[in-house]
Amino acid sequence: MEPTSKPYAVLSVAVPAAATLAAWALGWSPFLIVFTAIILFCCVPIVCMGLCQWLHGNGYRFLNVGVDWRSKSDKESREIASRWGKWVAIGSIVLVWACAMIMYNVVLGLVLIAASIVLMVAPIFKGISKGSPLPSWSKGTRVAVVAVSLVLAVVPFMYIAGGSLGTSDSVDVSLGEDSFKISAPFFSHTFSYDDVDDCQYINDFDKGKRIMGFHSGTISSGHYRNSMFGDYELAAYSEVRPCIAFSVDGEMYAFNQSSDEKTMEMFEDLVKRIDGRRSHRGRRDPTVVVARGV
């Protein structure tokens, strides 16, 4: 290993380890801590490798891109590696974002994954064996570039995973004047009372099968599928059977609270607020439905 490669090797382990410890210290759920460790320990080393190649031209012999390295001088080889490394670093940073986003918004996540692949193979479009001069920056500038790149890779990931996907095993419901918000791991939505088409209390709710989301002994949330609704979104305590189900623009959602009693209290409060907002519109009132054996 070249001496200039060693700091990048250290960073490829230290940065994911630090981020994982931060997730634990912030009180994230065990699932999100493991999720963070897996993604960052897989992706951050690729970012570091790309930075090392871009800034120093190291490791060109490991680039299996159809170039005959024996016919190239060391300077030419490093310039080719530098060009590839820049795009690998940029593409892998986007890939880190995609890995967090895909569990929250599948379409956007897939778009970001496709973008990251295009970025990482960008040098192909202008010629595989073409190089670019190594950056002639000072050591301080190189350090700054590495630091900013790693911040861009890790901080947005931590924000998306920790903020948008949820950091605790709970279903948090906030009833406002015009809307209500439900937050759980892999579930974060704000709904206007006026947009709720129907609201039901289902005593024996079948949560069905998890399609994409979160499940533990405490919380079941994300995209689920059951025989009653087909595909729907769930934010529920796993051991609590009753759920409040409602539809908005043809999409079904269900949630509950930490006990049967609290779920019923939430339903009654929610129904009062919905009725208060839309009674003058002549729409059907929310109803209580007791489902048995569903």
Q: Which residues on neighbouring strands pair with residue 212, listed in sequence order? A: 223
Q: Give residue limits of the domains in the chain.
A: 3-164, 172-289
Q: Which amino acid would we find at residue 185?
A: P
Please state the separation of Cα 32 from the chain's center in Å.
10
pLDDT of amino acid 203: 93
Q: Which two tokens stand for residue 93?
A: 């940073």
User: pLDDT per position in the chain (294 positions), as tens?
Assistant: 778 889 999 999 999 999 999 988 877 777 778 888 999 999 999 999 999 999 998 877 777 666 776 788 888 888 888 888 899 999 999 999 998 887 666 778 889 999 999 998 887 777 766 778 888 899 999 999 999 999 999 988 887 776 544 445 789 999 998 899 998 877 889 999 989 988 999 999 999 988 877 777 788 888 899 999 999 999 999 999 999 999 999 999 999 999 999 999 999 999 999 887 666 555 545 554 444 433
CA–CA distances in Å: residue 19 to residues 39, 157, 195, 201, 269: 11, 10, 39, 41, 40
C-alpha to C-alpha distance for 213 and 231, rounded to whole angstroms:
13
The whole-angstrom separation of Cα 21 and Cα 15 is 10
Largest CA distance in the chain: 81
**Distance of alpha carbon 228 from alpha carbon 231, whole angstroms:** 9
**Contact (Cβ atoms closer than 8 angstroms) between residue 93 and residue 152:** yes
pTM for this prediction: 0.62
